[in-house]
């Protein structure tokens, strides 16, 4: 079975990769923050929440496109 990947799907993949990178950077910063300030809220927690939400939406969009373009092959 040959997987169909459209240009839009490739763009979404790139956005997912960039978003994961941003998320990992923030998670590293958060670990460092809590090591230094264990009783204080991470100053960029809201950013991390937004990035997690964006990542979830990007992933859902990619899956919808993948299912749409590849479902016929799956049914065969």
Chain position carrying tokens 């300030």 = 37
Model pLDDT, residue 1? 67
Q: Is the pLDDT of residue 4 over 90?
A: yes
Structure-token pair, residue 65: 């496109």
Q: Is the pLDDT of residue 76 over 60?
A: no
pLDDT digits (tens, 9 = 90+) for 32-66: 999 999 999 999 999 999 999 999 999 999 999 99
Q: Is the pLDDT of residue 9 over 70?
A: yes
Structure-token pair, residue 3: 């997987």
For the chain, give every domain's residue range: 8-75
Model pLDDT, residue 72? 75
Model pLDDT, residue 75? 64
Please state the separation of Cα 35 from the chain's center in Å. Answer: 26
């Amino acid at each position: 079975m040959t997987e169909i990947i459209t240009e839009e799907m490739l763009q979404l993949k790139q956005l997912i990769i960039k978003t994961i990178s941003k998320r990992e950077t923030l998670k590293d910063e958060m670990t460092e923050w809590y090591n230094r300030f264990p009783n204080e809220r991470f100053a960029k927690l809201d950013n991390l929440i937004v990035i997690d939400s964006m990542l979830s939406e990007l992933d859902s969009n990619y899956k919808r496109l993948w299912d749409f373009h590849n479902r016929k092959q799956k049914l065969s």
